[in-house]
Structure 1
Amino acid sequence: MDMLIQNHEVRDWFSEEPRSLKKVFQAYEETISDILPNLLIDPRASVNSYIVNQDFRNTPKYLAAFNANAQTRLFVLSVLYVYPEFRKQGYGNHLIQQVQNMVGSSGVVQVAVEENDVSRLHDFYIKHSFKTTGELIPNQFGKKYCDYFWSGRAIEINKTPDGQFAITPT
């Protein structure tokens, strides 16, 4: 069973459970190498909600950090992380299924994978029906990443004239 911590509950969660904050920060550091030292002000973390294992306080096993925009129907998956001692036990698959169930056929999941992690994670996302252009794009801090997209319906990825990606149902 999982716990869902909504973005408006995060500040309280971190202040009540400082050990959880440290473990969450560890996940960010290992997935977003240029994360700011304060998750509450970094734009890639400050608006996120979390899915964590029920006993995360005592035994952190996995987490997903995300921001869902109801207007655009875009679900940005900032972090999908399984702590090293719990890898190869199906938790990554479990988190992807939870995210896909939350989004259903009404939206799109976007996850940015840093350049150094693409070779390690590409097959994982493709196995879970994510699509990508494979293009490496620099973020505002100069790090390059590759976007992966998923929807419960067939999608096409197109690049707009301003260099952004447009996801359209097919």
Structure 2
Amino acid sequence: MPTVGVTNWEGGRSAAEHLAGLGHSALAVIGGHRHHRYSKARIDGFRSVVPDASIRIGFADWRRADAHRQALGILRGPGRPTAVFACSDLMALGVYDAAKDLGLRIPDDLSVIGFDDVPEAGWATPTLTTVRQPLTEMGSAAMRLLLANRGGRPPVGSVVRFELATSLVVRSSTAARG
């Protein structure tokens, strides 16, 4: 089956590189569904930059309320992380909710990165640093695949997969660890 996707692993890696470059070493990740390949790829890319021992991981099934609950548990625990990478912008907003509940200031007390670059990322206060998924380009590529394969199927054994590049969009939700 032809598919269109993004470089999820590279996106997770770029988030970790950004946080490590800012001096963060106590990190957390909130993934989507534990068994989704793209959630795993984002987490694995993140892990490729920092040792596993320094990462706390929770799963929120792509929901803001679940991310809020996961973040509360992670941020209340001993050895509170100084930065959280959420595998979607919606879940990052759940981290914002938890930070507010705990009296933590973003980015002074906690840096946060999301993934997607949905419009709400630019509307959040502070604006959310995120890994941009080129959604418009993904839709265009999917339409081209659909039109190219109308009336037929790809040859048996062929794999058609378009993987578009992600990019880090740095906004106001991350800061150097001082």
> Where on the TM-score scale, by shorter chain, does this alignment land: which range?
0.3 to 0.5
Taking structure 1 as the reference length, what is the TM-score of the superposition? 0.35
Taking structure 2 as the reference length, what is the TM-score of the superposition? 0.34
Larger RCO (CA within 8 A; separation ≥ 6): 2
Decide which structure has the larger Cα Rg and report it.
Answer: 2
